[in-house]
Amino acid sequence: MLNRLIDYAHANVPFSELGFTVRDIRWRIELTKDGRLLGILPLGDEKSGVERWHCPEMHDMQSGGKSHFLIDNLKTAILLKAADSDKPRHDYYVQCIREASVVSPMLEVLTSFLGDTSSLDLLRQKLLAAPHRARPTENLEWRIDGCDPLNDPDILEWWRHWRMNVRETELDGNPMICFASGKTAMPAKTHPKIMGLPGGQGSGDALVGFDKAAFTSLGLKKSANAAVSDQAARSYVDALNHLKRHHGKRLGESLVLHWFKSKVEHEDDVLPWLQDPPEVAAASAAIAARKLLDAIRSGHRPDLVNNEFYALTISGMSGRVMVRDWMEGRFEDLVRNVEAWFADLAIVARDGKGQAHDPKFMAVCGALVRELKDLPAPTAATLWKVAVQRLPIPQPLMVQALARFRTDLIDKDQPPFSHARMGLIKAYFVRLNPGGAHTMAAYLNPNHPEPAYHCGRLLAVFSNLQRAALGDVGAGVVQRYYAAASQTPGLILGRLTSNARNHLGKLEGGLAWSYENQIADVMGHLGDGAPRILDLNGQGLFALGYYQQLAALREGKKTNETAQGETR
């Protein structure tokens, strides 16, 4: 994984250099050439600033009392809402700029400004007041007489030499084989951090770190236990930061980063389709993926034939980067799996009018929980892997989907029928027996071989019959009997069949005859009778049978509303 990240940095991050990093800059502070405050310019928006690469980065910040050079947060740089414990970092910040001022007169101006108490007070007042209302954790950059100090080659060269000299005095131990590059080098004492991960710390999270004795061995100190050179560590961190900003998708409390061995144009990148399916006229995402797959196989897209994809799922936790999953494979296989994902999820719309729209990935995740905030990061990562690698859907996810389905049916305040949830239940059976004798269709499966499916259909017919005979009765047959019928249909459906006779007696002849035929047709598929008990798979088939039959009845009701004489 580290090798792939380093290769990505070499190909895509031109500013990757030891001693520099990327930061979000929220404020630009402008000074005149004689050191007076000229203006304050907000950058980006209220949530984040603008991305800036090649910002000087101090090493080993955990040792305390250190700051970054020139670009740092407002608390460190100008003591905005600072405590006494923040003063050492501010003093270190000013001292570095003072030492660098020997190569640049503009830094002498900045040093004088930072040493002027009244000037700093004025700047803090303006930042805290409307309309700025700055936060102390936001980063700033400087302009002196319109010039950016970090565009001065002399200042950059000073920083490189200064950091190298200080770094060399802190290195100890012997050269080792770098795990990432395979070359002999001094191992990095600490690794740079990845910023802005879901669940992570504001100061960043480390992918490699050994901050406790229990994590070390053989008398090695800190990151020497997994030796990676300074440059290799810088490269993989820059790659992660770049991917997070340009090829990252939020996945609940995790982040999915993906890239390719060779460049892939945006319109051919199918992984984002899982998050946001493309709107293709008169087609679905599965059809769009199939067309791309046909183009690859026919030789019309030779640029994609031997390409490979990489996908990394990560999150932050207590200052560490948690690697939730790592995947790599052929681009052609990725397209095939994305096509299968949408084809397997395809389900009839709840109103029976055609097929439901392709669901977004987070809609599928949300189908498992009451609210998305309740979705555990491992669950989202598991479902992502299922989609990308075309794996069977785990039974625990099926259990969650069925539980939410039952809850929505019983609680009338909940929105009726999540298309994503029903598609997931259907996909569970498609992947349970791929290539089997019977394939679960998106629409009603009238000849399905399993009695459990037809038990669900029968309940849907009974529900419509009750509404036709009695109107809206509040808690109807579904709210009262679905949970029991889906688990022990042999004990419940007989009672409901007897009750259906009473409902038929309240209908006019033609309508009663229509419902009698529907009931007879469904019961004809039950063979010797309804099963006494249904296992998990049986309950899933029951749910699909109920949903698809109800959708078919609704579609028929719309096309023959007068003959049916029903109300919604």
**Coil vs helix vs strand at 184:** strand
Sign of CA dihedral 540, 541, 545, 551: positive
Q: Which long-range CB contacts under 8 A does 444-447 form with residues at least 24 apart?
A: 444/348, 444/548, 444/549, 444/551, 444/552, 445/544, 445/545, 445/548, 446/521, 446/525, 447/525
228-252 tens-digit pLDDT: 988 899 999 999 999 998 899 888 7
Buried b (16+ CB within 10 A) or exposed e, 552-564: bbbbbbeeeeeeb
Tell me, what DSSP letter sits at residue 206? B
Per-residue tokens: 566: 């029903």
DSSP conformation letters of 85-106 = GGHHHHHHHHHHHHHHGGG-HH
pLDDT of residue 565: 38
pLDDT-derived band at 561 (thresholds 50, 70, 90) equals very low
Mean pLDDT for 295-322 is 91
Alpha-carbon distance of 550 to 544, in angstroms, equals 10
> Does 280 score more than 70 pLDDT?
no
Candidates 133, 130, 134, 119; CA nearest to 30 is: 119
User: What confidence score (pLDDT) does residue 451 get?
Assistant: 93
| Each residue's pLDDT tens digit, 325-372 | 999 999 999 999 999 999 999 999 998 888 999 999 999 999 999 888
Q: Which of 360, 551, 519, 517 is nearest to 455 (CA)?
A: 519
Cβ contact 194:321 at 8 Å: yes
Q: Indicate if the alpha-carbon torsion angle 119, 120, 123, 129 is positive or negative.
A: negative
pLDDT value of position 195: 83
Write the pLDDT tens digit of every residue in 520-542.
898 888 877 889 999 999 999 99
Return mean pLDDT, the chain.
88
pLDDT at 127: 96
d(CA 236, CA 18): 11
- What does the pLDDT look like over 160-216, one tens digit per residue? 999 888 766 555 678 899 888 888 988 888 888 888 888 888 778 889 888 777 777
